[in-house]
């Protein structure tokens, strides 16, 4: 069986009567803490393996509730632990997933979409979809990265496509799409759109449907030392500040959805000692990697302790939660599928349990007291 021909079994759809049926309650995925010791042990195990043909020593970090066929740490977020020994490189590949890479040990370089990124520990960078890439360890130390992707979501949709036997010089797009005819293709029928009805709707021809406006997506590198210098300034906000002391690593291609990729945002947070966030909740799931300090999280009334080196599904969708630091400074990377939810108009967000939830990106959001405490 090859890619262009499949043998399908004949099946028939069913009618599922839902008359008067109340939708089932969502199943919360329990928070999980993957300890630094467990991650270190898995790095050591992967490093002890013979080099595979494609150079990819990796393990998926999977939630016990993950659905068969789409192994994620959250329903729409897959997390892989990838290891390279000194002098090793991976074989080129590309896929229709987008990624956030985060170096947790060592250093090296990644060549993606024709750009080479030299990275160090705690650096973050993104991968655009279907861009060929290679990881290389050109240091004398073991390299370990956490890779966050939307593969689990694509696998659940049965549309994940990966190409592993390619050249690093493979074009991201096989051919340029033809240009529309006419001076103003969006207003010239039959190659453009035209109004229908009185509500502002348009009819779009096939020629426009298959040639949407292209927005080029680039890999972006966020060096930790530069990010940290800006992050440390947020300590000056003081204990009266009610927001979270963080910066989001923003990719302009995501526009109003505020992401590093179309699926995820990536934020770096500083928590000074003895800071307790106020409880809030959101539909988007959050995964935290703590690389300095220690503290705890309260999630739906349950307490979870964490420390430097731990990875945690810290906020299952719509669960009330907050975080607190102990006696030292906490730094953490948070990956959240907020941008996807904003685009789907599904991002319910409740910044304070004393305020009603809103649909972020569709309704006006929230304000903090930053101007007041920073004055």
In terms of domains, do 155 and 240 share one?
no
Instruction: Supply 114's token pair.
Output: 């024709």
Contact 294, 326 (CB under 8 A): yes
For residue 196, count other CB atoms closer than 10 A to its CB.
11
Q: What is the pLDDT of residue 198?
A: 95
Helix (H) or strand (E) holding 280: none
195 inside domain: no
Q: Which of 163, 186, 206 lies at the terminal end of a domain, its last residue?
A: 163
Pair (152, 249) in one structural domain: no
SS3 content of the chain, % helix, strand, coil (to 5): 15, 30, 55
| Count of the separate structural domains present in the chain | 2
Note whether 159 and 277 are same-domain residues: no
Strand partners, 322: 298
Same domain, residue pair 146 and 228: no
CATH number at residue 230: 2.60.120.10
Q: Is residue 3 in a domain? A: no
Radius of gyration of the chain, Cα coordinates, nearest whole angstrom: 23
Domain boundary among 115, 139, 163: 163
Is 309 among the domain residues? yes
Q: Are 66 and 156 members of one domain?
A: yes
Same structural domain for residues 133 and 227? no
Q: Does 355 lie in the same domain as 269? A: yes
Contact 242, 368 (CB under 8 A): yes
Q: Is residue 108 part of a domain?
A: yes
74 domain-assigned: yes
Nearest to 119 by CA among 104, 134, 111, 109: 109
Taking a C-beta distance cutoff of 8 angstroms, is the pair 274, 238 a contact? no
Q: What is the pLDDT of residue 369?
A: 74
Please indicate, yes or no, whether residues 355 and 272 belong to a single structural domain of this protein: yes
Contact 254, 305 (CB under 8 A): no
Answer with the one of 114, 135, 163 that is the final residue of a domain: 163
**Number of alpha carbons in the 13 Å side-chain half-sphere of residue 291:** 17
Ordered mean pLDDT values, 10 residues apiece, the chain (375 residues): 82 96 93 98 98 96 96 97 98 98 98 97 98 98 98 97 85 50 54 90 91 92 98 86 89 97 97 93 97 98 98 96 96 98 96 93 83 65
Which structure tokens are listed for 274?
Answer: 């003895």
Question: Is residue 2 in a domain?
Answer: no
Judge whether 17 lies within some domain.
no
Pairing of strands 78-84, 57-60: antiparallel
Same domain, 237 and 354: yes
86 located within any domain: yes
Are residues 225 and 367 part of one domain?
yes
Q: Assess whether 87 and 159 both reside in one domain.
A: yes
Query: 337: number of CA atoms within 13 Å, CB side?
Result: 29
Rounded to whole angstroms, the Cα distance separating 327 from 102 reads 26
Tokens of 275: 């800071």
Domain that holds residue 330: 221-374
Check residue 78 and report its DSSP letter.
E
What number of CA atoms fall less than 13 Å from residue 250's CA on the CB side? 8
């Amino acid at each position: 069986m090859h890619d262009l021909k499949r043998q399908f079994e004949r099946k028939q759809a069913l009618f599922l009567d839902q008359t008067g049926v109340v939708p089932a309650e969502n199943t919360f995925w329990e928070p999980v803490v993957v300890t630094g010791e467990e991650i270190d042990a898995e790095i050591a195990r992967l490093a002890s393996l013979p080099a595979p043909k494609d150079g990819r020593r990796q393990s998926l970090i999977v939630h016990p509730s993950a659905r068969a066929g789409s192994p994620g740490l959250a329903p729409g977020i897959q997390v892989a632990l990838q290891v390279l020994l000194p002098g090793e490189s991976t074989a080129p590949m590309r896929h229709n997933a987008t990624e956030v890479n985060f170096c947790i040990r060592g250093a090296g370089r990644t060549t993606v979409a024709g750009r080479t990124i030299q990275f160090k520990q705690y650096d973050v960078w993104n991968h655009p979809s279907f861009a060929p890439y290679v990881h290389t360890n050109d240091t004398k130390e073991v390299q370990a990265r956490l890779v966050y992707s939307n593969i689990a979501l694509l696998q659940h949709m049965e549309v994940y496509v990966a190409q592993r036997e390619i050249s690093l010089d493979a074009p991201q797009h096989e051919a340029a799409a033809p240009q529309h005819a006419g001076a103003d293709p969006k207003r010239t029928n039959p190659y453009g759109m035209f109004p229908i009805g009185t509500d502002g709707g348009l009819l779009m021809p096939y020629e426009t449907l298959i040639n949407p406006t292209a927005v080029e997506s680039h890999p972006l590198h966020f060096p930790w030392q530069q990010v940290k210098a800006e992050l440390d300034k947020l300590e000056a906000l003081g204990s009266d500040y009610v927001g979270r002391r963080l910066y989001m690593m923003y990719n302009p291609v995501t526009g109003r959805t505020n992401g590093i990729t179309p699926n995820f945002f990536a934020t770096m947070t500083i928590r000074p000692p003895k800071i307790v966030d106020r409880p809030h909740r959101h539909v988007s799931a959050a995964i935290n990697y703590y690389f300095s300090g220690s503290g705890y999280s309260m999630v739906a009334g349950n307490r979870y302790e964490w420390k430097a080196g731990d990875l945690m599904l810290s906020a299952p969708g719509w669960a009330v939660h907050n975080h607190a630091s102990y006696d030292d400074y906490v730094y953490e990377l948070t990956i959240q599928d907020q941008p996807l939810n904003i685009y789907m108009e599904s991002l319910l967000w409740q910044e304070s349990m004393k305020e009603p939830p809103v649909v972020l990106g569709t309704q006006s959001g929230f304000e903090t007291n930053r101007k007041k405490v920073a004055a």
